[in-house]
Structure formats: C-alpha cells, structure tokens
Amino acid sequence: MDRRKFLAGSALAATAASVATKAYAATDDRPRRVGLIGCGWYGKSDLLQLLNVEPVEVVSLCDVDSKMLDECADLIATRQASKKRPRTYASYTDMLAEKGLDIVLVDTPDHWHALPMIAAVNAGADVWVQKPTACDVLESKAMLDAARKTGRVVQVGTQRRSTPHLMEAKERVVDAGLLGNVSYADICCYYHMRAKQNPPDTTPPANLDYEAWTGPAPMRPYNEMVHPRSWRAFMEYGNGIVGDMCVHMLDMVRWQLGLGWPTRVSSNGGIYVDHQSKANISDTQTARYEFDELDINWIHRSWGHAPDPEWPWAGVIYGDRGTLKLDVHKYEFTPHSRGEKLTGKTVIELDKYPTDKTDQRDWALELHVASAIRGHMKDFLKAIDERSKPVADIEQGHISSASCVLANVSMDLEGRTLNFDPETHTVIGDDEATAKLKRQYRKPYVHPSEA
C-alpha cells in the first residue's frame, strides 16, 4: 500500500462538505433551544455536557417513563442558567409539534433511534443521535437520506472521534507516518457485560408505558431486565455487543486510518457458554471487515480472561514501523526498532467541570468519557454554525453501524461472507442476506424505508 495515497485518502475523508441550509447564528440574542428524547443514563450524560459547553435553553424533554422524565426535568432545572423546568412529553411527536427547536438529542434505546431522528430533522432541528444509528441497515440508510434531504446537521454519538487522547494519537502517530505501511488491525471487547439474570416476566411498572417503549420492535413479555439498562441483552432492541461495543472500535479505527465502507463482511458466533440467562445476544463472536486497504478483525467474549488484561476493550493498529494500541483510557505507540515510545491518557477535568464528580456519584457518569462528550458537542455546535459535516456525521455513523449489522446478518447465515454494495444497499448475489437488511416493524409502525 502506498503511504502517500493512504494519507491523501485520509485527508479527503476528513474534509467537511457544506450543507446549504441557513444555520442558527451563534451571535443570535437567544440561546439555542434544545429538546431531549430519552431521559435515561446517556440522555443525561449528553445533555448535561451540552450545557457544560454552551448555555443552551433546554425547553422540552420526552420519555415514556414518567418517573425518569420528571427526575430529569428536575435535574435540568437546577443546572441550566434560566432555572426553568423544561416541558415534559410522553410522545416525541407531541414534543416536535411545538416547533422552534434548534437541536434535538435522541438518546433512546437503539430500536427507537430512526423514527425520532427522522421526525426531528423533518421538523427543522439539527440532531445528535446515539450510536449505533439503527437496528437494521435500511433504517440507518433512511436516517442518512433524511438528513441530506432536509440539510440538517446530524452528529452520531461515536465520540471516540472527539476523545482528546485519541485525537492526539492520530496526530502524533498516524498522521505523522510513524506506523509506516498499515495492513491489519484488531479490535476487541472482553468485558463480562452480557446480562446473566433470568428473572420471571412481570407486569410493567405503572410509570412505564411499555407499549410505547416497545414501539416498532417485536412485543416481548415485560421483564425487569428490559428497562432501564439491560435492554441490550435482547436482539429485538439492538445488535448485541457488536452493535454496542464493536461500533465504537470499528469507527475509531476507520477514523484513524481514513477508511470508508468494508467490501466484505463475515462473522461467526453465538451463545457458547451462558445458556442460563434470559439474554439472547451472543456471548462469543468474531467478525472480519475487509477493506481495500486492510482487514480489521473483531472479537468479543463475555466470559473468561482477556488475552491482555490492560486492553480489554481496544483497537490495535499494526504497521511495518510500529504498533498503536488505543482504548478509552489511553494510547500506546511502540516502534519496531529505533524511535520513541509514545503514550497518552484520558483527559479528566474535574477542576473545570466539578459537576462531573457529582454526576459520577449520583447517576454513573462515565468520568473518563466526559471530556470526549464535551469535545463531540463542541464539534457538533461548530458544524451547526458553519453548516458543515461534523466529525461523526450521520454518513460516518451509518457506515460503522451498518457494518456491525452486516456482521450479525453474516452470523445468522452461519458465517457467510457478505459482499455489500453501498451504492444499492444490497448484498451482491445474495437475496437472502439482502432481505435481512430490513427488519419487520410491528404494526402500526411503518419502516422508514417505506415512508
């Protein structure tokens, strides 16, 4: 691989394209008006960091859990400059009908990303949406199409692209050419994060509208594992550990190296060890993403020991001049012969943002991620002002998310290699695999690719 071509491709991939829509001007005499859909763990994480970097006015909140909704409204009233309590909604369509929202944050479970995000851009808002973009490939494509049709700015919550020490690693190591020729990367997750419980099904709590929470997903009997935090245990609501953790590491390596779509994806895995839990996601899975420039291999295993306990969730990029290890806490570059070993670690800013410590105590803010969310929010706001593409533009989020969905499709097809065509969004020569790029929506919900 010609390194000069590689760096030129990286620079081209990083170039922001203009979006021809009038922006909210940073000099306007009113703060940006913000709404949040999904008031749980990461909804609060994202919204409060937005408040930390700009004095926006949070005017509306939406959640189908009335208790969670009220608690979030009370919290925001104490943290925003106006001290006003945001309006609260059980329905995002009702919230968006108020118009006048400059920014909408979508921090719902994965199966509820696509419809609110598309509705928000159609209502004239710029949108922050959590990763992965969607539960199926054509949902995700519909989100990209809606953003481009409306000219709205959409930032995806793959905040590794705004993580200070990872940005430093890209500049000091990758962009500086210290890796030399790169032809391979490993990405992995060995956290024991798969739910192990098997509680009985019960009646939903009075504060939760379970019908609305389920939305377009298949209706399952309510179980305490589902809400508020363990819904990722079920494929009905997401894409397992690949959709949760691989999407971050795959996106990180793609960003570091300036990669686009993989040309071929294959995956094997299943439930190999834990057959007692109610969870139906894989506890073991490998995936291979083949790019024109190099291959990226993924593995997750939610049991046993990690091969390297210091790097249990990480990406490792191999070059002929050195190796770069990256995770959410640190990076480490080791040259193969002469040269300096380079390291960096996560940026913690408790002196500047003392509420990080309070939030970490009160509702489990990931302290090591706080600076990354702030950086990601700043990049989002800058893109809104300039009407440009943010660092985790919806197209980049779509590529990384859809690639992870393709891995699960391959696994369902017993490891079949999928030759994906991003122009047609089909699997070349494989009608069975192509049919799996779109999940069936529960009535009366309509899949956005059909709207």
Q: Is the model's pLDDT at 308 over the cut of 60?
A: yes
Per-residue pLDDT, averaged over 101-124, amounts to 98
pLDDT value at residue 4 = 30
Taking the mean position of all CA atoms in its chain, how far away is CA 114?
A: 13
Neighbours of 214 (CB within 10 A): 22
Cα angle 197, 310, 331; round to 5: 120
Paired with 314 in beta bridges are 188
Q: CA-CA distance, 28 to 87, in Å (whole number)?
A: 23
pLDDT value at residue 277 = 96
Q: Where in the chain is the domain with CATH 3.30.360.10?
A: 1-19+161-207+223-353+394-440
Q: Is the model's pLDDT at 385 over the cut of 70?
A: yes
Q: Is the model's pLDDT at 5 over the cut of 60?
A: no
Mean pLDDT of the chain: 93
Q: CA-CA distance, 237 to 439, in Å (whole number)?
A: 11
pLDDT value at residue 99 = 83
Q: Is the model's pLDDT at 270 over the cut of 60?
A: yes
pLDDT tens-digit series, residues 251-260: 999 999 999 9
CATH architecture of the domain formed by 1-19+161-207+223-353+394-440? 2-Layer Sandwich (3.30)
pLDDT value at residue 338 = 84
Let me know: does 376 contact 382? Beta carbons within 8 Å: no
Q: Is the model's pLDDT at 89 over the cut of 60?
A: yes
Per-residue pLDDT, averaged over 106-110, amounts to 98
pLDDT value at residue 256 = 98
Per-residue pLDDT, averaged over 354-358, amounts to 95
**In the structure, what pLDDT confidence band is assigned to residue 300 with cuts at 50, 70 and 90?**
very high
Q: pLDDT over 90 for what percent of the chain?
A: 91
Per-residue pLDDT, averaged over 266-286, amounts to 97
Per-residue pLDDT, averaged over 215-234, amounts to 95
Q: Where in the chain is the domain with CATH 3.40.50.720?
A: 20-160+365-393
> Which residues are CB-neighbours of 10 under 8 A, at least 6 positions away?
174, 175, 257, 258
Q: Which two tokens stand for residue 8?
A: 């030129």
Query: Which range has the worst mean pLDDT, 10-14, 29-33, 442-446?
Result: 10-14
pLDDT value at residue 235 = 98
Per-residue pLDDT, averaged over 269-276, amounts to 97
Q: Is the model's pLDDT at 26 over the cut of 90?
A: no
Per-residue pLDDT, averaged over 271-282, amounts to 97
Per-residue pLDDT, averaged over 406-425, amounts to 98
pLDDT value at residue 29 = 76
Query: Which range has the worst mean pLDDT, 120-124, 174-178, 335-339?
Result: 335-339
pLDDT value at residue 3 = 34
> Which residues are CB-neighbours of 352 under 8 A, at least 6 positions away?
none
Tokens 């170039």 -> residue: 15
pLDDT value at residue 28 = 60
pLDDT value at residue 228 = 86
CA distances from 395 to 131, 382, 392, 450 (A): 12, 18, 8, 20
Per-residue pLDDT, averaged over 381-410, amounts to 98
pLDDT value at residue 339 = 86
Q: Is the model's pLDDT at 23 over the cut of 90?
A: no
Q: CA-CA distance, 58 to 61, in Å (whole number)?
A: 8
Per-residue pLDDT, averaged over 131-135, amounts to 98
pLDDT tens-digit series, residues 153-186: 999 999 999 999 999 999 999 999 999 999 999 9
Q: pLDDT over 70 for what percent of the chain?
A: 94
Q: CA-CA distance, 413 to 410, in Å (whole number)?
A: 5
Q: CA-CA distance, 192 to 270, in Å (whole number)?
A: 15
pLDDT tens-digit series, residues 361-372: 998 999 999 999
Taking the mean position of all CA atoms in its chain, how far away is CA 54?
A: 22
pLDDT value at residue 274 = 96
Let me know: does 239 contact 408? Beta carbons within 8 Å: yes
Per-residue pLDDT, averaged over 345-359, amounts to 96
Return the CATH fold of 20-160+365-393.
Answer: Rossmann fold (3.40.50)
pLDDT tens-digit series, residues 321-330: 999 999 999 9
